């Protein structure tokens, strides 16, 4: 069957174990030349290769089938047939002594299979709808049109073709070169050059590979690039300006194609690219002037001239004072432990420990503190027993790490000796060190007498919250 034969005859249905009986015609070695579908040895019946060949081929290869291909892949001898109904059968036999695994690729798909030594297998594929007898090409596609053409792409569409069996797809050619084989009646061609003419044709194909005549040629010219910048934004204004932020807004620009967004610059540096006509700038310093401009952009990257600059001055920080009376003395009580901040051991020396301790009754001087304004909302915090000593982050202005000890030291104007009290919604305060921006914090969230104080990144937790009680 592998060598184009059109039929196969097995002479012997059943022979004995020595290949007989024979009546000549089997050559010198009857057993080597004649074999039956079955071998009968006493009461034992065994099936020979012919048995399986007959079974597989008669079941899967129909009358009128054509041989497609055949090869010997090592010990795997094979032959494939295409049946009149379009189905395909692949017959494989393993003539070697070991198990063989193989793969078959067909129509873009792949299948793997394993056959034991001496075994045969038949793999079949369904009809693709094509027929070996389809020799008629589809009709040429009509109605080829382009839409949505941009500087770099165009959408092509056309009317479906007809075929005696069935159209399976189309071939799109740009300037005579195939660029796509869509199965449907449209295709978006992209990656084109701007302001350039392209000629398209489309042809239809059927499953047998017959290709129709090409459609009429459609010429498409891509758009010229957008080189015109939008108009400069007008009406730049600021509102809601605080100590640290401001809301900018402006009037929309216009463009020959379309504005896609804006560029906001603060003191000449780009800070945002909003798509709309407003932006809130934040993270600003208090009581500081900033100069803003806004420009518009289109999709091609053309940028307009800048708007007229707008100068915004942020608000001043709150004046020292507020709810804190600078002449009063206060207990400072941790919200987590309920204990009072305390000059440990009534020390009057630099380096004295700042600790928490149960609040004394009557209130002791070493548990009373006064807030004395320095500048910009910061205070030095003075102990009543040792008025020269204030809360001080150990190590000076460079000591900004989490866990750095806060102790008591003579006030010398250092930024590590100044604290900003900020009242929370529940009436407690956080105290932020001026040099580090970190919060006064009871070490290890302790509730014990003698626990020390440290600075730590502000968390909003109760170990960083304190109530102040005026004496």
Is 264 within 8 Å of 272 (Cβ atoms)?
yes
| CA distances, 309 to each of 206, 235, 274, 280 (Å) | 66, 10, 18, 16
Which of these segments, 74-82, 123-131, 136-144, 263-271, binds Ca ion (CB under 5 A)? 136-144
Candidates 53, 165, 238, 373; binder of Ca ion (CB under 5 A) is: 165
What distance in Å separates the CA atoms of residue 312 and residue 292, rounded to the nearest whole number? 8
Shortest Cβ 137–Ca ion spacing (Å): 6
Considering the complex, state which of residue 36 and residue 233 has its C-beta at the smaller distance from Ca ion: 233
* The Cα angle at residue 443 between residues 441 and 448, in degrees rounded to 5: 115
Binding Ca ion (rule: CB under 5 A), the pick from 17, 46, 58, 136 is 136
Residue in 71, 178, 228, 273 binding Ca ion, rule: CB under 5 A: 228
Q: State in angstroms the smallest separation of the CB of 300 from Ca ion.
A: 6
Judged by CB under 5 A, which stretch of 83-91, 132-140, 182-190, 351-359 contacts Ca ion? 132-140
Write down the residue that tokens 């299948």 correspond to.
111
Query: Which residue number, 121 or 202, has a Cβ lying nearer to Ca ion?
Result: 202
Kindly indicate which of the ranges 31-39, 148-156, 204-212, 428-436 contains the residues binding Ca ion, using the contact rule CB under 5 A. Answer: 204-212
Among residues 52, 163, 262, 468, which is the contact residue for Ca ion, using CB under 5 A?
Answer: 163
Q: How far is the CB of 251 from Ca ion (least distance, A)?
A: 18
Residue for token pair 């020959």: 256
Q: What is the DSSP letter of 61?
A: S
Report how far residue 150's alpha carbon sits from residue 224's, in angstroms, rounded to the nearest whole number: 8
Nearer to Ca ion, 172 or 296 (CB): 296
Q: Residue 206, interface with Ca ion (CB under 5 A)?
A: yes
Beta carbons of 404 and 398 less than 8 angstroms apart? no
Please check whether residue 151 is in contact with residue 223, taking contact to mean a CB–CB distance below 8 angstroms: yes
Place of tokens 């004995």: 16
CA distance 184 to 195: 28
* Contacts (CB under 5 A) with Ca ion, residues 298-317: 298
Q: Is residue 267 a contact point for Ca ion (CB under 5 A)?
A: no
Among 76, 89, 100, 134, interactor with Ca ion by CB under 5 A? 134
User: Is the backbone peptide bond immediately before 120 cis, with ω within 30 degrees of 0?
Assistant: no
- 226 binds Ca ion, rule: CB under 5 A: yes
Stretch that binds Ca ion, among 151-159, 217-225, 293-301, 315-323 (CB under 5 A): 293-301
- Which C-beta is closer to Ca ion: that of 206 or that of 343? 206
Count interface residues toward Ca ion (CB under 5 A): 13
Minimum distance of Ca ion from residue 379's CB (angstroms): 56
Residue 312 makes CB contacts below 8 A (sequence gap 6+) with 238, 241, 246, 289, 290, 291, 292
In angstroms, what is the minimal distance from the CB of 260 to Ca ion? 9
Q: 260 or 446: whose CB is closer to Ca ion?
A: 260
* Calpha distance 450→459 (Å, rounded): 22
Residue 342 contacts Ca ion per CB under 5 A: no
Closer to Ca ion at the Cβ: 78 or 253?
A: 253
When binding is defined by CB under 5 A, the residue of 41, 85, 164, 345 that contacts Ca ion is 164
Helix (H, G, I), strand (E, B) or coil at 454: strand
Question: Cβ(107)–Cβ(120) under 8 Å?
Answer: no
Token pair, residue 110, equals 């792949």
Shortest spacing between CB 223 and Ca ion, in angstroms = 12
Q: How far is the CB of 255 from Ca ion (least distance, A)?
A: 4
Q: How far is CA 311 from CA 110, 135, 170, 266, 314, in A?
A: 69, 79, 62, 10, 10
Taking contact as CB under 5 A, which single stretch among the options 128-136, 197-205, 319-327, 329-337 is the one that binds Ca ion?
128-136
Shortest Å, Cβ 163 to Ca ion: 4
Binding mask 247-266 for Ca ion (x = CB under 5 A): --------xxx---------
Q: Is 394 in the site for Ca ion (CB under 5 A)?
A: no
Stretches 118-126, 161-169, 392-400, 427-435: which one binds Ca ion (CB under 5 A)?
161-169
Q: What is the 3-state secondary structure (H, E, C) of 66-117?
A: EEEEEEEECCEEEEEEECCCCCEEEEEEECCCCCEEEEEEECCEEEEEEECC
How many whole angstroms separate alpha carbon 227 and alpha carbon 141? 38
**Shortest reach from residue 259's CB to Ca ion, in Å:** 8
Closer to Ca ion by CB, 205 or 339: give it: 205
| Nearer Cβ to Ca ion (222/383) | 222
* Extended beta strands in 4-65, E state: 14-16, 38-41, 44-47
Q: Provide the minimum distance between the beta carbon of 230 and Ca ion in the complex, in angstroms, as a whole number.
A: 6
Closest by CA to 300, choosing from 270, 262, 257, 251, is 257
Interaction site with Ca ion (CB under 5 A): 134, 136, 163-165, 206, 210, 226, 228, 255-257, 298
């Amino acid at each position: 069957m592998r060598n184009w034969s059109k039929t196969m005859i097995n002479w012997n249905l059943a022979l004995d174990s020595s290949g007989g009986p024979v009546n000549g015609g089997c050559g010198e070695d009857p057993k080597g030349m004649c074999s039956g579908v079955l071998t009968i040895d006493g009461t034992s019946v065994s099936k020979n290769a012919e048995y399986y060949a007959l079974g597989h081929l008669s079941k899967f290869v129909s009358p009128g089938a054509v041989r497609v291909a055949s090869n010997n892949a090592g010990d795997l001898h094979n032959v494939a047939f295409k049946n009149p109904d379009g189905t395909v059968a692949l017959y494989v036999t393993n003539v070697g002594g070991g198990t063989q695994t193989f793969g078959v690729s067909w129509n873009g798909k792949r299948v793997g299979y394993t056959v034991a030594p001496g075994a045969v297998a038949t793999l079949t594929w369904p009809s693709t709808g094509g027929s070996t007898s389809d020799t008629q090409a589809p009709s040429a596609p009509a109605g080829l049109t382009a839409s949505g053409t941009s500087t770099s792409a165009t959408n092509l569409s056309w009317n479906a073709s007809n075929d005696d069996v069935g159209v399976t797809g189309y071939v799109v050619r740009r300037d005579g070169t195939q660029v796509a084989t869509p199965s449907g009646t449209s295709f978006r061609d992209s990656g084109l050059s701007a302001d350039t003419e392209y000629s398209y044709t489309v042809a239809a194909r059927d499953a047998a590979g017959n290709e129709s005549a090409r459609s009429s040629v459609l010429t498409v010219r891509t758009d010229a690039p957008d080189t015109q910048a939008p108009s400069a934004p007008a009406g730049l204004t600021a509102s809601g300006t605080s100590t640290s932020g401001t809301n900018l807004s402006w009037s929309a620009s216009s463009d020959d194609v379309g504005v896609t967004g804006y560029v906001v610059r603060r003191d000449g540096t780009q800070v945002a690219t909003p798509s709309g006509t407003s932006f809130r700038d934040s993270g600003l310093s208090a009581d500081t002037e900033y100069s803003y401009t806004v420009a518009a952009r289109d999709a091609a990257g053309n940028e307009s001239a800048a708007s007229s600059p707008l100068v915004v001055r942020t608000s001043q920080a709150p004046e020292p004072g507020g709810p804190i009376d600078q002449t009063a003395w206060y207990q400072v009580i941790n919200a987590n432990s309920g204990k009072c901040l305390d000059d440990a051991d009534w020390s009057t020396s630099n380096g004295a420990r700042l600790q928490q301790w149960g609040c004394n009754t009557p209130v002791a001087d070493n548990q009373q503190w006064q807030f004395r304004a320095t500048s910009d909302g910061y205070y030095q915090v003075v102990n009543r027993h040792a008025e020269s000593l204030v809360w001080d982050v150990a190590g000076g202005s460079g000591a900004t790490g989490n866990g750095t000890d806060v102790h008591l030291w003579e006030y010398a104007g250092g930024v590590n000796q100044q604290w900003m009290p900020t009242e929370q919604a529940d009436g407690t305060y956080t105290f932020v060190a001026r040099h580090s921006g970190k919060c006064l914090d009871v070490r290890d969230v302790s509730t014990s007498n003698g626990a020390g104080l440290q600075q730590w990144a502000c968390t909003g937790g109760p170990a960083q919250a304190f109530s102040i009680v005026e004496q």
